[in-house]
Amino acid sequence: MSRQSRRSKGYRPPAARQAVRRQAVRRQDPSDQDPSDQDPWAAGARPVDSGTCELVAEGDGGWVLYVNGAPSSFISSGDPLRLGFGYMQWIAAAIECQWSGDGAGLRVLHLGGGACTLPRYVAEVFPGARQLVVEIDAELARLARQWSDLPRAPRLRIRVGEAREVVQGLSPGTRDVIVRDVFAGDETPRALTTTGFLDEARRVLAPGGMYAVNCGVLRGLREAREDLATVLERFAQVLVVGDQATLKGRRPGNVVVLASDAPLDSVALGARLRSGSDAAVVLAGADVVEFCKGAEPREDPRSGPLAEPGF
For the stretch 252-297, pLDDT in tens is: 999 999 999 999 999 999 999 988 777 899 999 999 999 999 999 9
> What is the C-alpha to C-alpha distance for residues 141 and 135, in angstroms, rounded to an integer?
7
Residue 143 in any domain: the answer is yes
The amino acid present at 213, given as its one-letter code, is V
Burial of 55 (0-12, 13-18, 19+ CB in 10 A): buried
Query: Does residue 94 form part of some domain?
Result: yes
For 29, other C-beta atoms within 10 Å of its C-beta total 18
Q: Do 131 and 155 touch, CB atoms closer than 8 A?
A: yes
Whether pLDDT at 144 is above 70 = yes
**228-253 b/e (C-beta count within 10 Å ≥ 16 → b):** bbbbbebbebbbbbbbeebbeeebbb
Is 157 among the domain residues? yes
303 within a domain of the structure (yes/no) = no
For 154-163, the pLDDT digits (tens) are 999 999 999 9
CATH of the domain at 231: 3.40.50.150
Q: What is the mean pLDDT of residues 15-42?
A: 46
In a domain, residue 219? The reply is: yes
d(CA 311, CA 309): 6
Q: What is the mean pLDDT of the chain?
A: 87
Answer whether residue 226 is part of any domain: yes
User: What range defines the domain where residue 209 resides?
Assistant: 30-291
Starting at the edge strand found earlier in the chain, the sheet holding 70-76 runs 46-48, 51-59, 62-67, 70-76
Number of CB atoms found within 10 A of residue 82's CB: 18
219: number of Cβ within 10 Å: 11
pLDDT given at position 101: 95
Cα distance between residue 4 and residue 63, in whole Å? 14
CB-side neighbour CA atoms (13 Å) of 29: 15
In a domain, 63, yes or no: yes
> Looking at residue 2, what is its pLDDT?
62
Considering its fold, how many domains does the chain have in total?
A: 1
Confidence of residue 79 (pLDDT cuts 50, 70, 90): very high
Instruction: State the pTM of this model.
Output: 0.87
pLDDT band at 42 (very low <50, low <70, confident <90, very high): confident
Give domain status of residue 212, yes or no.
yes
Q: Do 283 and 240 meet the contact criterion of CB atoms below 8 Å apart?
A: yes
Closest alpha carbon to 131 in 39, 29, 199: 29
Amino acid at 50: S
